[in-house]
Amino acid sequence: MLTGSIVALVTPMDKTGEIDFTSLKELVEFHIKSGTAAIVAVGTTGESATLNVDDHVKVVMKAVEFAAGRIDIIAGNGANSTAEAITFSKLFANSGIVAGLNVTPYYNKPTQEGLYQHFKAIAESSELAQILYNVPGRTAVDMLPETVARLSKIDNIIGIKEATGDLNRLAEIKALVADDFLLYSGDDETGCDFMLQGGNGVISVTSNVAPAEMANMCEFALAGKSAEAHAINQQLMPVHQNLFVESNPIPVKWACAELGLIPSADCRLPLTILAPQYHSIVRDALKEAKLS
């Protein structure tokens, strides 16, 4: 059962856009040592939208290799084409990952029935466990609790990453699904309260730069220790808020480079390096959170 702080890991790259596997290995080690519960490889923060299929699969499989069974790996598995998502699901079956993370199809704005049929088809394409991912701020489609409830009845759909930031949504979903259906926050700013109100963990951008702090906060929140969890969360609030001054993962990659976790903040186009006017904002957030 995957609970606690799950990092939505950046994909380190060099200035030509080639993947830096040496740095990827170092990041995996960093998270193992820091107490991170699991790694999402090639999710939104890992630039799933800019990696081709070969690179996508290679990054996931290298993460599994580097982890060597010491930390669970979840693979970004989604696409706005059902056929493409099924391809990933089949490629990752029996690969050593514990689950696929499936974002709602972006741009084409399917209906709720379309969402149900999309995720049902993915789940039925292999025995790989699947985690749903709802992030309407990026995809322009919102998977409603009733649709989540329908999908939760499919055996290998085991949970959802709910990234609306609306804590009322947690209560709505909890009321409709079984107790063993896993509920993850996809919003760092509200993730602490999400867990204190019954969620199982947070799939986190902040964990890239504050893995030990996020692991501790999640441990306190899951134990119902509100004061201790909120104290850490408040310390991290400047980072939660300012890692989104430009589109994710632009600021967090710059922050990782600023802290020396990766050698380069480069992304693949159409993403660019953090604009200079935001450098001091992110740098000050890291200092205020006592990370630098």
What is the DSSP code string of the chain? Answer: ---EEEEE----B-TTS-B-HHHHHHHHHHHHHHT--EEEESSTTTTTTTS-HHHHHHHHHHHHHHHTTSSEEEEE---SSHHHHHHHHHHHTTSS-SEEEEEPPPSS---HHHHHHHHHHHHHHSS--EEEEE-HHHHS----HHHHHHHHTSTTEEEEEE-S--HHHHHHHHTTS-TTSEEEE--HHHHHHHHHTT--EEEESGGGT-HHHHHHHHHHHHTT-HHHHHHHHHHHHHHHHHTTSSSTTHHHHHHHHHTTSSS-----TT--PPPGGGHHHHHHHHHHTT--
Catalytic residue among 90, 109, 120, 133: 133
> Which of these, 128, 127, 106, lies nearest to 118 by C-alpha position?
106
Catalytic residue among 161, 253, 278, 290: 161
- Our answer to whether residue 133 is catalytic in this structure is yes
- Our answer to whether residue 107 is catalytic in this structure is no
- Residues identified as active-site: 133, 161
